[in-house]
Each structure stands twice: as C-alpha cells, then as structure tokens.
Amino acid sequence: MNILLLGGGGREHALAWKMAASPLTSRLFCAPGNAGIAREAECVDLDIADHEAVIGFCRDQHVDFVVVGPEGPLCAGIVDDLEAAGIKAFGPNRAAAQLEGSKGFTKDLCRANGIPTAAYERFRAADQAKAYVRARGAPIVVKADGLAAGKGVVVAQTPAEAEAAIDMIFGGDLSGAGAELVVEEFLGGEEASFFALCDGDVALPLASAQDHKRAFDGDKGPNTGGMGAYSPTSLVDPAMRDRVMAEIVQPTLRAMKKIGAPYKGVLYAGLMMTAEGPKLIEYNVRFGDPECQVLMLRLQSDLIPALLASRDGLLKSIDLRWLPNAALTVVMAAKGYPGRYAKDSVIENLEAAAAVEGVEIFHAGTRQDGRRILANGGRVLNVSALGTDIVQARDRAYQAVARINWPEGFCRHDIGRRAIEREKNKIAGRATGFGS
C-alpha cells in the first residue's frame, strides 16, 4: 500500500525507518520529512496545516493510509478531514485529540472518572488563579490550557514565580493556548512515559520508556521536548503496567467512548511515579519524541498492521513482539536549545558514527545541501543504539556521538544513568540478600 507520513522530526524518522521495512509498504511518502527521512521515504514539500492540499496529494498519489506524527494536525482535525474524504488515517480525530489539546478537558475527565492525577482548578481570570496559588502555597504548577509547544508549563518554586507564570499565560505570550489555565498540585517522584495503542475500545500497551526532559546533565536547566530516552524501564514492570492500564488508560478509553469521542491512535500517558502510586501528569495523543525512537528499535513485529488495526477497531487480534534488548537514544541539539539557536551549521562524520555496532542515527532537524547535512532545528539528531542491556546500549550510543563532528551541537552525557544505578543497586541488593 501507499503510505503518507506527516511530520519531520526524529519520531517520524524512526516511524519511516520501521514502515519502510514492512513488506506491506509499496510507496512511502513523508511531508515535510528531513534529510534522514529522505533515505527511507519520498519527501514531499506539502504544508500539512493545509488539509485540502494533503487530501489532494493523497488522491493524486493513490495514498491508502496516512500516519500522523505530531499533535498539531491531530488537534486541528486532519484525521476527520482525511476520513471524510475517504482516506484512512491513523490517529485520534479532533474530539479525541482534546486529551492533549486541552489540559482542562483531561483534568475534568480524570476527576469525573476517578483517574489518579494532581489536584487542580481551572481558571479564566488572573485574580482568581493568583488567589488559589496564595491559598495553596508553593511548589505549585501552572499550565496553559492549550497546545503551547512545550512552553505552557511552569513548575513554580515560589508563589511569586507562579503568579508571574499566570501573568505570562494570560498576557498573550502563548496566543490561543493561554485563554485558560490550570493550576495544579506539585507531584514528587520519577517520571515515566507510558504508551498504549488504542482502537476506541481496546488498548494494547507498548514497551515502557523513560525520557530526560531537562536540557543539561543531572536533570538541570530548562525543560525541553526530551534530551534522550531508553526502553525498557524498571519503573514500569509488568505489575505496574497492569496497574496503569487498569487505573488510568482503560478508564480513559471508557470515558472517551461514553462522551462520544472514542479514542483511536497512540495514547501517551506522562506519569509521575509517586509514593501513592502512578499519577497522570498529562496525556499526549501521539508517540513521544524521542521515546518513539527507542520503541521502534525494539519492536520486532510489523508496525503497519498494528496502526491499521487501531484505525479499523481490530486491535484485539494484534499481538506485538518486542526484542528483549535495551535501546537508548541520545539527542544532539543545537547550542542554545531550547532557547535561541542558529541553523545551517555543518554536521560531519555521520556515516562513521552509524557504523558502530547496534547504532541507528535518526535525524530530527536536518536538511540536505548538496552532499552536506546541515542542522535545521533545535533537536537535530537522535543517536540511538540497541544493546544486550542498557549499559551496552548507552556505551554504543555515546561511542557514535563521539565520532560525530558538529562543534555547534551539544548533548547530555548522562542519558540512562539513573536507570543504570537502579539496576546496579538491584544486583547489589540481591547479592547481599536485601532489596527486591
């Protein structure tokens, strides 16, 4: 079949890499794609916000199935428009995409259905939001209601910081995203990314993963889209997976069906593993980036039948197989990210880096200029590796990073460190008879 993938980041490169390997794929297109995706797919210069243009392209090229990577087009209803035009599409429709598109919507859904999440209130006026902050004290978290490209959440350490965040959000800095906000309780603990493929009724959990959100080593610096990830994580063992499915994912699916917005697509639950158990921080209606990269490395089964079954309501007949190996990815970003950064610096030696055993380099923000690869975004490369365990996966990924010649880039040097320490403690605990 002919497939069109929408998006142009590392997540989409990993999806393209996986889908290009499927015997079901005849032609694979990607809009807009990037220099790495161009090796797997025919990149097309389409404005994916222009739904009519996307539909026109699908008709011209006999596209049978559209896979949507990022949340923007999902929240804008691209699946509704494609399906109305008779083109099959993977991902939630606009009503179901509210799970990411409106934090207030999701919080209310959690409250109404007993889904564990931080205590919260929704506000449309600054005075009331500030009064609530003063009553609750800090630390406290302030979130713009709508999509804000990762800039809509402030974890405030003091009430003054929270009040400044409220002014920023209502002040119009985030345009449409900031007409409403949520103020919520600060949750302590480690975060995990949980993914389930859903078909409206059935949810199939995918492999577990953990992201590294802060820009710098030691979880310091500003929040980013994610600076590295690994899979699996012992934070989500099979018992925890079943608990998250029973307490968070399944009730969400039932609730979405009840309100007439059955959820199809990947449901990505950002979890906080608190002392009281897992709590939902937020939902995303797409694969995580860079978590998708490590999931695709470990997925043995063909991805396409699973994506089609999600769309067709047939997931109960799908069983996905995963490699037992660990996968880890290191994000290389342009210096300055997540703030201002320069484009068009030259990246060299990618082939030598990709030759390290077990390594796949997914491009996140690159473009081809003749024979040269240029940086074309904040997050630029995802240097990813499989290993028999996380230590080997990490060592291979960093060996590849060391071969890349890109002085204008940076990466974290501690991706997977906490997981590796956890593993070591477990082994030490077993050796002395303590721990579990």
Residues that bind ligand GLY (CB under 6 A): 211, 225-226, 284, 288-289, 291
Residue 271 or 296 having the CB closest to ligand AMP: 271
Residue 199 or 211 having the CB closest to ligand GLY: 211
226 touches, from ligand AMP, ligand GLY, none (C-beta below 5 to 8 Å by class)? ligand GLY
Which of 71, 184, 199, 289 binds ligand AMP (CB under 6 A)? It is 184
Does 186 help bind ligand AMP (rule: CB under 6 A)? Answer: yes
Does 282 help bind ligand AMP (rule: CB under 6 A)? Answer: yes
289 touches, from ligand GLY, ligand AMP, none (C-beta below 5 to 8 Å by class)? ligand GLY
Which of 187, 229, 236, 356 binds ligand AMP (CB under 6 A)? It is 187
Least distance in angstroms from the C-beta of 270 to ligand AMP: 5
411 touches, from ligand GLY, ligand AMP, none (C-beta below 5 to 8 Å by class)? none
What lies within 8 Å, CB to CB, of 342 at 6+ separation is: 334, 335, 336, 375, 408
121 touches, from ligand GLY, ligand AMP, none (C-beta below 5 to 8 Å by class)? none
Which of 94, 213, 335, 418 binds ligand AMP (CB under 6 A)? It is 213
Residue 22 or 223 having the CB closest to ligand AMP: 223
Least distance in angstroms from the C-beta of 282 to ligand AMP: 4
Residue 48 or 153 having the CB closest to ligand GLY: 153
Does 191 help bind ligand AMP (rule: CB under 6 A)? Answer: yes
Does 32 help bind ligand AMP (rule: CB under 6 A)? Answer: no
Residue 42 or 191 having the CB closest to ligand AMP: 191
User: Cβ–Cβ contacts within 10 Å for residue 282, how many?
Assistant: 18
